Structures are given as C-alpha cells and as structure tokens.
Amino acid sequence: MAKIETLNGINVELIREDFPILKRKVHGNHLAYLDSAATSQKPASVIAVINEFYSTHNATVHRGVYQMSQEATARYKDAHVKVARFINARSYEEIVFVRNATEAINLIAYSWGRANIKAGDVILLTEMEHHSNLVPWQLLAREKGARLEFISVDKDGLLDLQEMKENIDGRIRLIAVTHMSNVLGTINPVKLITEFAHENGALILVDAAQTVPRYAVDVQEIDCDFMVFSGHKMLAPNGIGALYAKSEILEDMKPFITGGNMIQEVKLRESKWGELPWRFEAGTPAIEEGIALGTAIDYLEGLGMESIENYERQIVAYAMERLSEIDGIEIYGPSSEQRGGLVSFNLAGIQPHDIAAALDYDGIAIRAGHHCAQPLHEKLGIKASARASFYLYNTREEVDRLVNGLHKAKKVFG
Ligand SMILES: Cc1ncc(COP(=O)(O)O)c(C=O)c1O
C-alpha cells in the first residue's frame, strides 16, 4: 500500500480534494498536473469567492458611498493588507496590485527606471532571468544609453557571485535578479546580493514569481527595494499580481498609468496624485481577482508556508532521485538542497515537445520549450527542455507516473 503523504499533518489526498480540477481525466487517465511553475491550480475557496463577490458584493471600489461599494472597497483594501502581511511589508501602502509579475517589472522600468537610469549606468541582471526580467531592461538600457551586465551561471546552475564582486565595473544603479530560476530551480541568495547592491549604491529588484507561492518570503529580512510576483502561480486567479516597493521609493516615483482612481484632484491642465498604493492603480482594478488573491493567501497560510516548503523539498528530492535513474537523461541545475520544486531535463535523442506529448497521453501535464528563458537555454547549449514542476498538491505517486511515462516515451521514440 502507498505510504500516506502529509503536509503539516494533513493527508495530501485531502488537500487534493480542495482542487476540483485534480479530479478530471485527460485521455482517460487521471490528471497528474506537473506544471505549477507555469500556473497553479485553484482551490474551491478561491473559485467560490469570485462567485460570491459577483453574487453579493459586485460594485466598483473607491467611489461609491452606497454600502455595496464600501464593502467592495474594504475587501479590496483588505486584500492589500493580507499581501503586505504575507511578505512582511511594513504597510499595505507598499503593495501595488498589477496584472502579473511582468507588468510589475514594466512598471518599475517605466516609472523608476526612466527617472533614475542615466547614460553609462549599469543594470546588473543574471543569465538565468525570465524574459519578463530581461526585455524591459533591454529597452530601458537602449533608450538611456545604459549598459546591461550579467551575473554568470556556473556549471552547477548557481550564480557566480565571486565573479560578480570582482569583475563588475561602472556605476551599478539596479540589480534585478530572480529569487528562483524557473528552469534550473536554483534558489538565489538574494539577501547577499541585496547587501552587495546596497554597498554599491544600487537598488535591487527581486523577481519572486517562483518563491512567494512556496516559501515564507520576508521583504524586510531580505531588505530588497522592489519585489514582484503573480497571483496565478500561488492559487489565485489570472490577472492579479503584486509589486512591493519600499514606500519612500514609491513616494518618489511617477505613476506609470494615469487616469481615474489614482488622483486626488484634477484640474483641466494639471492633477495631483492620490495616496499610495492607489496612485499606481489607475482605472477600475481587478477587484474580485484581488480579493481572491487574499483568499489564496488564507489557504496557503492555513497550511503554513514552512510546511509547504518542506513538503515540496521532499517531492523534488524524490523526483531528482527517481529521474536520475533513467538512462540518457540530462538534468539541469543544482542538487535538490539548492533548488525549489521543479526539474528541467532532456532525454537523449527525444525532442522535449515529443516527451510532453507522449506524457499527455497518460494524463501527465509537463511543460516543454524554453520556458521564457532563451538566453539560459543558449548558455546550456540547448534549444529547449522538458520541465516537471511540483506544488503542494502533488504526490510521489505522480512522480512515479512521470518516471514510468518517460520510460514509455523512450521505448516509443528511442
Ligand atoms: C521567474 C519568473 N519570473 C517572471 C515570470 C512571469 O510571470 P507572469 O507571466 O505571471 O507575469 C515567470 C513566469 O513563469 C517566472 O517564472
């Protein structure tokens, strides 16, 4: 009989019951959803709160004096308060709701970057960034005559911080780094990198799209200046994400998008901005998605972030062990102690897309491609990889199904 798996003392089978989609079948097989690094599945409480909002509270925020609008406004603000508490920001004023991590980075690049990056400045990135944390900086650097530099990724899939300290010359103005690589799984020492940034008079942006869903992330402990993440990777709906910035930095930034909802006073020829964080949330916001992000946080906190992290570490360690038994597999990135819950790999002689298509027949959903990290794939000397990623609802049995599916794929294509 299979061993019962528990997360914070709760049988994972019971946790899975909270996710209606996990009951569905794909090509006649039970779904094994191994693509949570792309997007997570949603618990019934998150799905229900959207229904509940439209059934009982639907009204726009900030404007109405009538009860429903005030209720919607209070709940929407409360969601900001929850996000602030979740990442230990000092106040909800430091939390701006955006569509996703990508929009948050663009906001920083337009609003802070255009005012603060000058010709000759260095924007320091890493070779493992998602395109979202690369392309906005390419545009900004080109526009301003600034220079992009990159912290190298070594053969173990770790950042070469020694080289960073020794070789970087010029005036670094911003370091923008992923907290966890969405390809290698590497967890980067962002606190150390923050210290280096501040010693050099630079600000730091942490792309926490992969870590906020699975670790207890504390912005005050890291001391980062900006942090970004997406709700859809942490049990919340699409179309909602958050930008954290220290309030003194936000106070100095000009709004990125302007119009209604973000102003204090408008005259025909000039306007005064409203308070934080609403100043950066022009237009009617994604109200129910924001509220549902708060519900997703309730769910995560109910399980406990440390328990989620521990559970995922066990699953990824098991996956690494089982996958490395397969002949001809190449696994990218560091050992399981230094990685979050995902494994990217290639099988000799089989295209990653063929692997994903073969697994799909067995109901196993993994991702194939460059995972929006083409420069990293180029560095690894490959065009694409297959990626299995895990979250709080995955089980060892699903890892076993993945391994069996890969053996089958080898027979078919090998
Ligand atoms: C590390 C990292 N950064 C940024 C993003 C972009 O997230 P979104 O598409 O939700 O904006 C992703 C998505 O995969 C990611 O993994």
Ligand 1 centroid to Cα of residue 71, in Å, is: 32
Ligand 1 centroid to Cα of residue 231, in Å, is: 10
Residue 235 in contact with ligand 1 by CB distance below 6 A: no
Residue 35 in contact with ligand 1 by CB distance below 6 A: no
Q: What domains can be seen in the chain, in order of their start residue?
A: 6-42+304-413 (3.90.1150.10), 48-302 (3.40.640.10)
Residue 100 in contact with ligand 1 by CB distance below 6 A: yes
The model scores a pTM over 0.75: yes
pLDDT at 168: 74
Ligand 1 centroid to Cα of residue 197, in Å, is: 23
Please check whether residue 33 is in contact with residue 401, taking contact to mean a CB–CB distance below 8 angstroms: no
pLDDT at 21: 98
- CA-nearest residue, atom 9 of ligand 1: 102
Residue 403 in contact with ligand 1 by CB distance below 6 A: no
Pocket test for ligand 1, best of 107, 230, 289, 391 (most atoms within 8 A of CB): 230
- CA-nearest residue, atom 13 of ligand 1: 38
Pocket test for ligand 1, best of 97, 108, 180, 182 (most atoms within 8 A of CB): 182
pLDDT at 101: 98
Q: Return the CA Rg of the chain.
A: 22
Residue 130 in contact with ligand 1 by CB distance below 6 A: yes
Report the catalytic residues. Answer: 372
Residue 34 in contact with ligand 1 by CB distance below 6 A: no
For residue 180, the ligand 1 atom closest to its alpha carbon is: 1
**Digitized pLDDT (tens) for each residue of the chain, 414 residues in all:** 567 899 988 999 999 999 999 999 999 999 999 999 999 999 999 999 999 999 998 999 987 789 999 999 999 999 999 999 999 999 999 999 999 999 999 999 999 999 999 999 999 999 999 999 999 999 999 999 999 999 999 999 999 999 888 877 779 999 999 999 999 999 999 999 999 999 999 999 999 999 999 999 999 999 999 999 999 999 999 999 999 999 999 999 999 999 988 888 899 999 999 999 999 999 999 999 999 999 999 999 999 999 999 999 999 999 999 999 999 999 999 999 999 999 999 999 999 999 999 999 999 999 999 999 999 999 999 999 999 999 999 999 999 999 999 999 999 987
Residue 227 in contact with ligand 1 by CB distance below 6 A: no
- CA-nearest residue, atom 15 of ligand 1: 209
Residue 209 in contact with ligand 1 by CB distance below 6 A: yes
pLDDT at 414: 74
Residue 367 in contact with ligand 1 by CB distance below 6 A: no
Ligand 1 centroid to Cα of residue 273, in Å, is: 30
Please check whether residue 209 is in contact with residue 230, taking contact to mean a CB–CB distance below 8 angstroms: yes
Closest CA to 98 of 302, 266, 236, 3: 236
Residue 101 in contact with ligand 1 by CB distance below 6 A: yes
For residue 38, the ligand 1 atom closest to its alpha carbon is: 14
- CA-nearest residue, atom 7 of ligand 1: 101
pLDDT at 2: 64
Ligand 1 centroid to Cα of residue 372, in Å, is: 8
- CA-nearest residue, atom 12 of ligand 1: 209
pLDDT in tens, 28-61: 999 999 999 999 999 999 999 999 999 998 999 9
Ligand 1 centroid to Cα of residue 209, in Å, is: 5
